[in-house]
Structures are given as C-alpha cells and as structure tokens.
Amino acid sequence: MQLKAFIICLMATGAYACTDGQLPSNQQAHAANNITKPEFGGQTPPKGTGATYCGNHGNPYGSNILLIDKKWVSSFKYVAQFYSPPETTESWNIVVWNKCGKDGGVDGFFGEWVQNFQIAPSETKYVVFDEDSQGGWGAAPGTSPVLNSVGSCASTWGEFDFANAANNASGYDVSSIAAQNATLTVQGMQICATQSNNCSSISNSGTVINAYTEANQDRNDIAPWLIGDGPVTLDVTINFSG
C-alpha cells in the first residue's frame, strides 16, 4: 500500500507554497451553482511514486474537489459528507486541500485551499472528489483555518485518497500530528466509509481509533482502506465526542 508513504510525506515536507486562501473563481462558481449539475475540470496525469506521488489535482488546479448541494450527491462516486453535531455551540470552518500544490510539491496544505467554508451546528455539507484525488481537510471552530507558524493547517486533519491510480485503492484517516506538533488543540473528528466497517477517529476527549498521532506516526497499518476504485462515501463528524 502507498498510504504509509502518503501520510508520512504529507507531514514531513519542508516545502512552502502559501496562497492568500481565496478560492479560485471556478470553485466559487461551482459552489454557487445550484441549477445545473456541478462538473469537475480536467484531470492531471499522475507523477512521482510513494511519498511524492501526486495523482489528479484538477485542471484548472483544484477543480477536482467541489462543494456541492445535497441534491447532486448521488451523481458522484467519491463523497465526503461533513456533519456538525447538534451539541456544537458555534460555526466551524473547514478547508480542503490537494496533497500536491500548484508547484507539484507535496505542499497543498500550506494554504492552497481548494474549498474553504463554514458549517453550522446540525448542518451537513457535501464535498465531492474526482478519481485519483489525494489530500486532506482541517476543521476548527470559527471562520478561518488554524495555521502553524509556517502557514500549514494545524488543526486536526482528515486525510483522503480516492481511487489512487498507483495502488488501485482508497483510504482515509484522522490525524492529530500537525496539531500536536504545533502544541495546538486536537479537535475531535471521525471518518467512516459507508462501504467499510472501519472508522478512523480521535474524540474530543482524546480516544484514538485507527488514527494518526505523534506517537504512532511511523506506523503503516493505521489508515482504513478499500481495495479497488469503487464508490467511497465518507461520513465525517467534526467536533466528535465519541
């Protein structure tokens, strides 16, 4: 499996490529489009291997990840459904990035958000992904992402790998590595795939199930994965209490 390399590489990079966090105009158009079915842009050919593998990051950049209205969800194969539990007391911010940035390096989490939105208590929002997309998301209370001193997302991460063309598998996990490294709050998050019995989670009180932390970051057998390139629907609960 490539997932070990994927995860370790995501965290190990020293590359910097920050943007101002504004969405490219095509994503704004897609997010706002509630009349016609949203569509991905073109696909980019995969590059690299193992830790530096970059699959499809969309052409134009980021057009492989769309925030869509619920009514379109059944038209897409790779979906993350973000849910904020009712006991949440405020709106949370979610940013989504590609593993690889515009420069082709493993640095999309340095501010190259391809989606950036808020979610209210009890609300569900839907993000869809094109084939061979890898990356992550961060979720935290408020209206902007939590960053570390070098501009990388440093709340709890969710990581995704949909229909990886190099290993013909999909995978997902929750990771507190970035938050712990920055000595910042580890927010609870759970990710379950409807096609699998396995969830990955870290609860608000710190219970870790199939998830990455500073203590286990060198292990290669943590992220749940699904063989093949079939549909994957991830149910993502933010502010997860367990």
Contact residues for ligand NAG (CB under 6 A)?
11, 34, 69, 71, 148-150, 168, 177-178, 181-182, 197-198, 210, 224, 227-229
Q: Which is nearer to ligand NAG, 87 or 172 (CB)?
A: 172
CB of 15 to ligand NAG, least distance (A): 10
Round to whole Å and give the CA distance between 76 and 95.
20
Q: Which is nearer to ligand NAG, 66 or 178 (CB)?
A: 178
- 200 backbone dihedrals φ, ψ, rounded to 5°: -120, 130
Q: Which is nearer to ligand NAG, 29 or 227 (CB)?
A: 227
| Contact of 84 with 238, CB cutoff 8 Å | yes
CB of 152 to ligand NAG, least distance (A): 7
Round to whole Å and give the CA distance between 94 and 240.
14
Cα–Cα–Cα angle for 159, 202, 158, rounded to 5 degrees: 15
Q: Which is nearer to ligand NAG, 45 or 228 (CB)?
A: 228
Q: Which two tokens stand for residue 2?
A: 């490539």
CB of 60 to ligand NAG, least distance (A): 22
Q: Which is nearer to ligand NAG, 11 or 66 (CB)?
A: 11
Beta strand 78-83 pairing with 232-238: parallel
**DSSP strand E in the chain: where?**
65-68, 78-83, 92-98, 115-119, 124-129, 133-141, 157-164, 169-175, 189-193, 199-202, 208-209, 225-227, 232-238
Round to whole Å and give the CA distance between 97 and 161.
12
Q: Which is nearer to ligand NAG, 6 or 87 (CB)?
A: 6
Q: Which is nearer to ligand NAG, 59 or 195 (CB)?
A: 195
CA dihedral 15, 132, 102, 173 (to 10 degrees): -40
Round to whole Å and give the CA distance between 25 and 184.
32
CB neighbour class for 89 (10 Å; exposed up to 12, middle 13-18, buried from 19): exposed
Residue, CB closest to ligand NAG:
228
